[in-house]
Amino acid sequence: MVAEVEQKGRSKPENADGLILKPLYTAARQFAKSLIRPSTIIYPFERLEDPKFREEVAIESGRPIGVGQVWDNYRGVHALNVNTCISCNLCAFSCPDLCIDMVTVPGGDPKHPKKCPQIDYGKCSYCGFCSDACPEGCLSMTTRYELSTPKRAEMVYSPQKMFEIYQRKLPMNPIRLERPANEDSILLDVPLCIGCNACARDCPTECITMIDIPKANPKPGEKPAKRIWKEPVINDSDCVRCGTCISVCPKECLFWGTHT
Amino acid sequence: MALTTLWDVAYFLASGLLYVVSRIIPPLSGVLSNGDLVWGLSALVFGAILLAASMINTIMLIWFERKMLGRFMDRRGAMHVGYAGLLQNFADGLKLFRKNTFKPRDADGLGFYAGPTAYMVTSLLMFGVLPVSTGWSDGSLPLSMLLALVIFSFAPLFIFISAWSSNNKYSLIGGMRSAAQMIAYEVPILLAVVAVVVISGSFDLNTIVSEQRNYWYWGPLFLAMIVFATGMLAEMERIPFDLPEAEAELVEGWNTEYGGMLFAYFMLADYVRALAGSILVVLLFLGGWTLPAYFPAALTSLPLAGIVVLMVKTYLVFGVFVWIRAALPRVRTDQLLRIGWMRMIPLSLASIVFAVFFVLVKCIPVLGCVPSMGG
Ligand code: SF4
Ligand code: SF4
Ligand code: SF4
């Protein structure tokens, strides 16, 4: 009885035709199809970027699906134009994984060394925040995705290495966040400033000029001081809002704010 | 001395070796010319050649399966070690060889180590029995086919021993399944073989093959061949009858606890058995080392032609096994039993009846005639 109930429950009776011959036929067809050339490519020696694969995929799907061609926002290894980098540090600030170190590169003056980002791809999550933050557009993301290496140390790309990638003119990610026009500006808490020149020295865009001002409010009866006091004036249109001046100020008299 | 059989080659090598040694160390020449010593050494050389040949073939068989299975899955299989990955399995073997073999704390040492070893050794014994060409071995065993089947069915015992002694529930279940599975396939296999015996009139594999020089048994005994090959699949524990290994349920079945070289033993022995099983199918049903009459006789009289023909057929049969592996899902125990008892046994009985009929009427129009029953 039990067997009968089971038999009734089945939608189709088990027969050799459907259970054995059909799979055998399917497998044989697959075998014959892939005997000449299986779909799997021999990756390091053949690539999906190769023109023949590109064509094939484009034909089969009717449109390129990111194979061989790159999506607009593909985010691979960075390219860095060392020549236009202004050492503003913004990329390192914006990196959520703290994988950017600013390292000295040749080309700066001894007092004001030129520093460019060095990226540890062992940590990088390819978020692209750094290239969005870069005010000069010199740090961008390319389509390069092959990073494997036997040594962990080789995952750290020096600025020179990323400059080489830049020089190869790989397709680069053209999408950049628009930087808002009326961001906060750098404001000065005037009474605190001691006119030390640190911000003007370190500003990457050299938009800070130190202007002479008389010492404010000399005490009655005192002679005005001989010494000329200085105070930074920031050219707001050149400022890239990197915050370097704030971080170097010894008296913490620079801060973010809005001009009123 | 004509080097016609493998034994002759071994004897030639052994006596040559002893001759060289006795020339280098003259005082030993009296001892070394002893006939028993030459005989013993030739037996060792014989065994060594046989072992090397079967191991190399086994490893090539694994390569063959990997490549073929790759194509079935739209892949390429092993590619990079050696030409088309030919040396990949040697590399894998080397890796396993270098690994530590360790025993679970609660496992039984004797069974744990003896099981794989015995499994390997009994599987290799097969090649001592199977003739692969006319000139393979000198002495012909009158019951070699039965001996081959007996050796073949040792395996579940050792599988069960190693599974039980590794003290793991998955291993144990796998081992028990392996032992229980025998009930399903041993009887049909033997019945299918009876049909062959009825037609050929012999239990000797050499005779069975030479009886097939005019026509192969796969014509008249097609049903028996299907039953035998299916039974062999179950005997080798290959998909779709790999219940004892069933990765989805039993981790790795009876060899769950094994690693390193012991695992390599199991792996190799599995393929040794696959090779032996395919050779057995070829010997019993596909004419062994004979070729149909329309091939020129000059081709078959070339040296080693018999072995090459047999090996080509063997790889083709194994290719069909791989095809089945790629296509079919694993069956359940009850399904296996039902296949064994309700499909395969009636089919093999039918083919026995047909074989008897064939022998009685002597000639059937399409299938040809039974040769003289001299053997
Ligand atoms: S892509 Fe993101 S994680 Fe990588 S360096 Fe740039 S900011 Fe850091
Ligand atoms: S954000 Fe751009 S300009 Fe600034 S340091 Fe980084 S790479 Fe150089
Ligand atoms: S934030 Fe400060 S250091 Fe940076 S560019 Fe503007 S003024 Fe210069």
> Could you state, in order of their start, the residue ranges of all structural domains in chain B?
1-16+36-49, 77-369
Q: Is residue A178 part of a domain?
A: no
Query: Does residue A160 share a domain with residue A191?
Result: no
Can you spell out the DSSP letters for A203-231? -TT--EEEEEEPPSSPPTTSPPPSSPEEE
Whether pLDDT at A67 is above 60: no
Distance CA B246, CA B174 (A): 8
Whether pLDDT at B136 is above 70: no
Is-above-0.80 flag for pTM? no
Region A67-87: what's the mean pLDDT? 74
Query: Does residue A163 share a domain with residue A82?
Result: yes
Q: Is residue A100 part of a domain?
A: yes
Instruction: Give the pLDDT band of residue A65 (cuts 50, 70, 90).
Output: very low
Mutation to probe ligand 1, out of A90, A119, A173 (largest number of atoms < 8 A from CB): A119
Query: Does residue A95 share a domain with residue A145?
Result: yes
Question: Looking at residue B137, what is its pLDDT?
Answer: 59
**Does ligand 1 have an atom closer than 6 angstroms to the CB of A100?**
yes
Q: Is residue A4 part of a domain?
A: no
More confident of the two residues A221 and A127: A127
Region B142-157: what's the mean pLDDT? 86
The residue count for chain B: 375
Which residues is A103 bridged to in the sheet? Answer: A116
More confident of the two residues B251 and A3: B251
Can you spell out the DSSP letters for B266-325? HHHHHHHHHHHHHHHHHHHHS-TT---TTS-HHHHTSTTHHHHHHHHHHHHHHHHHHHHH
Q: Is residue A107 part of a domain?
A: yes
Question: Looking at residue A18, what is its pLDDT?
Answer: 72
The ligand 2 atom at the shortest distance from the C-alpha of residue A92 is: 6
Distance CA A120, CA A161 (A): 12
Region B50-64: what's the mean pLDDT? 89
- The residue range of the domain holding A230 is 185-217+224-257
3-state class of B196 per DSSP? helix
Summarised one tens digit per residue, pLDDT across range B68-118 is 998 898 888 888 888 888 888 889 889 988 988 888 888 888 888 888 889
Query: Does residue A190 share a domain with residue A163?
Result: no
Region A140-160: what's the mean pLDDT? 86
More confident of the two residues B222 and B365: B222
Q: Is residue A32 part of a domain?
A: no
Which of A23, A28, A42 is facing B328, going by the closest CB pair? A23
CB atoms within 10 A of CB B356: 14
Distance CA A20, CA A176 (A): 57
Q: CATH number of the domain that A197 lies in? A: 3.30.70.3270
Question: Looking at residue A64, what is its pLDDT?
Answer: 45
Which of A27, A35, A42 is facing B326, going by the closest CB pair? A27
Instruction: Give the pLDDT band of residue A19 (cuts 50, 70, 90).
Output: confident
Instruction: Give the pLDDT band of residue B63 (cuts 50, 70, 90).
Output: very high
Q: At what angle do helices B260-285 and B222-235 cross, to 10 degrees?
A: 170
Whether pLDDT at A144 is above 90: no
Structural contact between residues A230 and A195, judged by C-beta atoms closer than 8 angstroms: yes
Summarised one tens digit per residue, pLDDT across range B150-190 is 888 888 889 889 889 988 888 889 888 888 888 888 889 99
Whether pLDDT at B375 is above 50: no
Question: What is the overall mean pLDDT for chain B?
Answer: 84
Ligand nearest to the CA of A121: 1
Q: Report which protein residue has its CA nearest ligand 2's atom 4.
A: A88
**Does ligand 1 have an atom closer than 6 angstroms to the CB of A97?**
yes
The structural domain count of chain A equals 2
Whether pLDDT at A179 is above 80: no
Query: Does residue A93 share a domain with residue A149?
Result: yes
Instruction: Give the pLDDT band of residue A225 (cuts 50, 70, 90).
Output: low
Q: Is residue A43 part of a domain?
A: no
Question: Looking at residue B64, what is its pLDDT?
Answer: 92
Instruction: Give the pLDDT band of residue B278 (cuts 50, 70, 90).
Output: very high
Q: Is B334 on the interface with A (CB under 8 A)?
A: no
Would the CB atoms of A31 and B326 count as touching at under 8 Å?
yes
Q: Is residue A16 part of a domain?
A: no
More confident of the two residues B181 and A47: B181
Query: Does residue A235 share a domain with residue A195?
Result: yes
Judged by phi (left if over 0) then psi (alpha if -120 to 50, else beta), residue B253 lies in: left
Question: Looking at residue A63, what is its pLDDT?
Answer: 47
Question: What is the overall mean pLDDT for chain A?
Answer: 77
Q: Which residue, among A14, A31, A34, A35, would best test binding to B if mutated, counting the most B CBs under 10 Å from its CB?
A: A31
CA of A188 to the centre of ligand 3 (A): 12
Of B187, B275, B279, B267, which is closest to residue B231 (Cα–Cα)? B187
Q: Tell me the ipTM for this assembly.
A: 0.74
Q: Is residue A10 part of a domain?
A: no
